[in-house]
């Protein structure tokens, strides 16, 4: 899911670049394309942080305790 969010954001960036180069029309999908990286990238960062926290908690729980 994390990789999909990042990939979706990158695709949206390139679509925005291509749309700007060719002249964006006033089609109904452009606001969605423009907002996609603004939502997906912060969500991907939150998912990455939660993955790191879960991994740290699992490793600390599985590590043997020192006396």
pLDDT at 58 over 80: yes
Look up the domain containing 38 and give its range: 2-61
CB atoms within 10 A of CB 47: 16
The reply to whether 66 falls in a domain is no
Q: What is the pLDDT of residue 52?
A: 95
The reply to whether 8 falls in a domain is yes
Q: What pLDDT, in 10s, does the model give residues 5-14?
A: 999 999 999 9
The reply to whether 67 falls in a domain is no
Written as six digits, the tokens of 17 are 């670049």
Q: Are the C-beta atoms of residues 18 and 42 closer than 8 Å to each other? A: no
Q: How many domains does the chain have?
A: 1
Q: What is the pLDDT of residue 46?
A: 94
The reply to whether 12 falls in a domain is yes
Q: What is the reported pTM? A: 0.75
Q: What pLDDT, in 10s, does the model give residues 24-44?
A: 777 777 888 889 999 999 999
SS3 assignment, position 64: coil
Written as six digits, the tokens of 63 are 């590590």
Written as six digits, the tokens of 42 are 């912060």
> Phi, psi at residue 3, to the nearest 5°?
-65, -35
């Amino acid at each position: 899911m994390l990789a999909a969010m990042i990939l979706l954001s990158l695709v949206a960036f390139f679509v925005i670049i291509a749309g700007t180069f060719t002249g964006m029309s006033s089609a109904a999908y452009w606001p969605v394309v423009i907002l996609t990286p603004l939502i997906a990238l912060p969500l991907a960062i939150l998912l990455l942080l939660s993955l790191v926290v879960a991994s740290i908690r699992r490793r600390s729980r599985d590590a043997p305790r020192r006396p």
